[in-house]
Structure 1
Amino acid sequence: MSKPEEYDLVVLGSGEPGKYLAWTFAARGQRAVVIERKYIGGSCPNIACLPSKNIIHSAKVASYFHRSAEFGITAGEWKIDMAAVRERKRKMVEGLVQVHLGKFKSSGAELVMGHGRFTGPKTVEVALRDGGTRVFHGTNVIINTGSRAKIDATPGLKDANPLTHIEALELDRVPEHLIVLGGGYIGLELAQAFRRFGSRVTVVERNSALVHREDADVSEAMEQLFRDEGIAVSTDTVLDRVTGTSGQAVQLHAKRARAEVVIEGTHLLAAAGRTPNTAGIGLETAGVELDARGSVKVDDHLRTTAEGVWAVGDCAGSPQFTHIGFDDFRIVRDNLSGGHRVTTGRQVPSCMFTDPELARIGLSEREAKERGIAYRLAKIPMGQVLRTQTLSETRGFFKALIEKDGDRVLGFTAFGVEAGEVMAVVQTAMSAGLPYTALRDMVLTHPTIAEGLIILFSAVTPKT
């Protein structure tokens, strides 16, 4: 093995937290290198967050064509051109990659394309994409390898060659009948999108409800949305085996309510969870331990079990959101700069980009009850927010949990148009420690969706 090249910072993977660490410390004059196997900038700009939202927006436009008569518009003949939908997405991705390359150049961070693996403490050997090898040793090393779609051991599932979100976003034709395995974020977002493009869609979920970790009213509202859009929902359905081939004809053999069922379609999308990319990169040779789920074991500073080695993002078991990956960057940046910053107690906002959106910050009712936390509940239908009447988007609700004997906002859930944007307003108030009355008494522009917060927080029952 050749003598290692010495760097201040070696980053394995170019996803959100790792690339920002490299750009930041390179801009400060340190030698920083990022090793990337395939996707410059990581999953988010290439195959995940942004491409999926691009496709989802095209589907939303299609839904307006379906609803055109509702708005007094005669649409005439129209059709979905999936190749053009894909091309719009590809152009966006190409532009984002160029932005990333520009950031590497302007910061001075080096980008090396190839497959990296540890060969010793803080030492990474890279099989270069264009041939040859390089070896890097870092004063600090960042593991930033992300996660991938989980294809479990169900007999026949892997052999059926199911789509993951990566392949689904590259389809150039509308599937005749798409079966979506999994009722979580990725599965539901893409299920609705492809239904709006014209596919028959069936969602298969092993748990008793869609988004089963959310409150019952959320799950019920989401399931009603899907049924109203013509999406078949099969909950409490446990997969036994899969036959056939996705893209041609595929059959799911399962049990539902103790009865055997067969669900047939042309395409199968596997969206039933993710697994960390930690295998085959030599972590054991670097003294880096894994937890029971296969994630890199880290403390609340994101330090691994090996001195000078850190782990960030999905591979470290962090909540699987790009915005949490960015916060992981800030935590490691500050700790490497002599500060003290931890993951403990940080806010974890979430938004599912169905239409309407589902957004939440803080406690749900289920979580509050599980923890024995008393609360006062305020809830209003979206139809009370007058802006929704102008948009013909009255589906859903706002609800908030307020502490029983005080005025702090414990949690906020929105299922409705622009839910993610409104959530940010409540999150800001929560971060600032403001009482709910500050939102209740704020002067907000009429007519906006955020104005509904005045109605919501006016519905909080008095303290007893």
Structure 2
Amino acid sequence: MDKFDVLIIGSGPGGYVAAIRCAQLGLKTAIIEKYATKGGTCLNVGCIPSKTLLDSSHHYEDALKHFEDHGIEINGDVKLNFKKMMERKSSVVEQTTKGIDFLMDKNEVTSFEGVGSFKDKTHIIITHNDKETTEIEAKNTIIATGSKPNSLPFIDIDKERIITSTEALSLKEVPKHMVMIGGGVIGLELGQVYKRLGSEVTVIEYMDRIAPVMDKAMSKELMKVMKKQKVKFALSHQVKAVDRDGDKVIIKADNKKGEEVTFEGDYCLVSVGRKPFTKGLNADKAGVKINDKGQVEVNEKLQTNVENIYAIGDVVKGAMLAHKAEEEGSFVAEVIAGQKPHIDYNLIPNVIYTWPEVASVGKTEEQLKDESIDYKSGQFPMRALGRSRASGDVDGLVKILSDKETDEVLGVHMIGARAADLIAEAVTAMEFRASAEDMARMSHAHPTYAEAVKEAALAATEDRAIHI
């Protein structure tokens, strides 16, 4: 029987990063993945394919609508080759997942394909092809089994017309009318993809605004931009029925007045979040506790109630983000190795990869009000930047919130071109407890989108932004 210092169950961003870090620390490491390709949801049916389609559809939309503004004339019609676009997406996914195999080999991590389940707290059974089994022994185990798309109890996901994000990333045709149930990250990103490609898109959201986890100003600005892009929204609507009639999907919902409203499309994407996945793990045989939300319960060291078993990523509490899982993967590896790492969950950024992109870190203005924290706010519009006018990406703004007394930055929220990259500046500043004045005094290259961060910091410091 093979014996390992650490075994990781699941090879998503949390799992494979944990495996690499364990190996770097000199621990004999193994990883189990039930699918033929590593990388979990993120690399296979999540972050990587969705961002690939977002970029491809963005190029297509630019060619259709914006090239002429830049003096670029195209002889003949701009044509969409949807099959080729999907093939490119698959190619990017394949390259990325193969990269994980390379990293496992490079770091001498032993890989097993199959479903990993506990026999007891130190022995794991790997089931290959639903029949053959292998038993291995692990001094420590990290559960990194991730999550699956959530649904509503009355919805029958048929994976043909009533679909989840997984199917939406591999459609064979561009929908005529795609109805999104859920105005969060998945619904907005994939809604924008298919709107660019020619679909009519309607987003139905239970809350009174889209992107409800973001600062309210960001939600408002994003909705304004997407409405300009002709995406339709039905806010404060509670979906109560989803039925299929041949190639049609009929969705019934109650609006905030309690009136029934009917929506009809040829595809319905159910994007109401994700739920932890522990099926087949047999956690009870190891004595590991799973709460009523389906999450593996852990302490501040990400250790379960069984001292040699840890859990990370989407399967534990907190935001379901690939980079949060990666941080936790490294964290647990270092805990097992006897080090004393730390994670500041307040400083894990959140991003929506629409265009313009939305990104945030720290507290929202609503949270600061709820917590009765006195704060200052400074913001700066992207359209006031020379760089934004040069590229034509003038939508959006940057907002910085700082402590009224100490000026320490408490939250940074932005919507605009390359906000997903710009947010790292805010994370860095907040990690070192910078003040708004500190950020304002940093030199930012001109012309760049990042100048909006400096200007917002100036606005938060003494209301002295230069370019507005």
TM range (shorter): over 0.9
Please list the CA deviations of residues 437-461 of structure 1 after superposition, one character each: whole Å capped at 9, or x if unmatched: 2221222211111122232222225
* Counterpart for residue 73 of structure 1: 72
* Counterpart for residue 253 of structure 2: 254
Q: What SS is found at the alignment partner of 1:446?
A: coil
Q: What SS is found at the alignment partner of 1:398?
A: strand
Matched, 1:220 2:217: no
Segments of 5+ residues of structure 1 without an aligned counterpart are none
CA distance in 1 between counterparts of 2:418 and 2:178 reads 27
Cα shift at 1:283? 0.8
Cα shift at 1:66? 2.4
Does the CA-based 8 Å contact 2:192-2:354 persist in structure 1? yes
Does the CA-based 8 Å contact 1:151-1:158 persist in structure 2? no
* Counterpart for residue 59 of structure 1: 57
Does the CA-based 8 Å contact 1:40-1:100 persist in structure 2? yes
CA distance in 2 between counterparts of 1:316 and 1:245 reads 38
What is the RMSD computed on CA atoms of the aligned residues? 1.9
Cα shift at 1:345? 5.0
Please list the CA deviations of residues 17-39 of structure 1 after superposition, one character each: whole Å capped at 9, or x if unmatched: 22222233335554322111114
CA distance in 1 between counterparts of 2:325 and 2:7 reads 17
Matched, 1:435 2:435: yes
* AA matched with 1:61: H
* Counterpart for residue 113 of structure 2: 113
Q: What SS is found at the alignment partner of 2:348?
A: coil
CA distance in 1 between counterparts of 2:111 and 2:322 reads 20
* Counterpart for residue 32 of structure 1: 29
Matched, 1:22 2:15: no
Does the CA-based 8 Å contact 2:358-2:420 persist in structure 1? yes
Question: TM-score, normalised on structure 1?
Answer: 0.94
Cα shift at 1:252? 0.4
What aligned pairs does 1:9-158 form with structure 2 within 5 A after superposition? 9-38=6-35, 39-67=37-65, 68-75=67-74, 76-129=76-129, 131-156=131-156
Q: What SS is found at the alignment partner of 2:401?
A: strand
* AA matched with 1:60: H
Cα shift at 1:225? 1.6
* Counterpart for residue 297 of structure 1: 297
Does the CA-based 8 Å contact 1:83-1:171 persist in structure 2? no
* Counterpart for residue 395 of structure 1: 395
Per mean C-alpha deviation after superposition, the further-off stretch among 179-188 and 168-177 is 168-177
4+ residue segments displaced more than 6 Å: none
Please list the CA deviations of residues 61-105 of structure 1 after superposition, one character each: whole Å capped at 9, or x if unmatched: 012022233323333301211111111111111111221111121
CA distance in 2 between counterparts of 1:214 and 1:311 reads 27
CA distance in 1 between counterparts of 2:245 and 2:323 reads 36
Per mean C-alpha deviation after superposition, the further-off stretch among 203-212 and 339-348 is 339-348
Cα shift at 1:51? 1.3
CA distance in 1 between counterparts of 2:141 and 2:437 reads 46
CA distance in 2 between counterparts of 1:245 and 1:34 reads 44
* AA matched with 1:34: I
CA distance in 1 between counterparts of 2:349 and 2:315 reads 19
* Counterpart for residue 466 of structure 2: none
* Counterpart for residue 192 of structure 1: 192
Does the CA-based 8 Å contact 2:397-2:415 persist in structure 1? yes
Cα shift at 1:147? 0.3
Q: 1:400 to 1:333 in 2, by over 3 A?
A: same
* Counterpart for residue 7 of structure 1: 4
* AA matched with 2:202: T
Q: What SS is found at the alignment partner of 2:393?
A: coil
* AA matched with 1:66: L
Does the CA-based 8 Å contact 1:303-1:311 persist in structure 2? yes
Q: 1:392 to 1:127 in 2, by over 3 A?
A: same
Does the CA-based 8 Å contact 1:121-1:287 persist in structure 2? yes
Does the CA-based 8 Å contact 1:160-1:243 persist in structure 2? no
Cα shift at 1:401? 0.4
Per mean C-alpha deviation after superposition, the further-off stretch among 368-377 and 90-99 is 90-99
* AA matched with 2:420: G
Segments of 5+ residues of structure 2 without an aligned counterpart are 464-468
Cα shift at 1:161? 5.8
Does the CA-based 8 Å contact 1:148-1:275 persist in structure 2? yes
Matched, 1:240 2:237: no
* AA matched with 1:50: I
Percent identical? 28
Question: TM-score, normalised on structure 2?
Answer: 0.93
Cα shift at 1:413? 0.5
Please list the CA deviations of residues 281-335 of structure 1 after superposition, one character each: whole Å capped at 9, or x if unmatched: 2111111111231100001110001120000110112321111111101211211
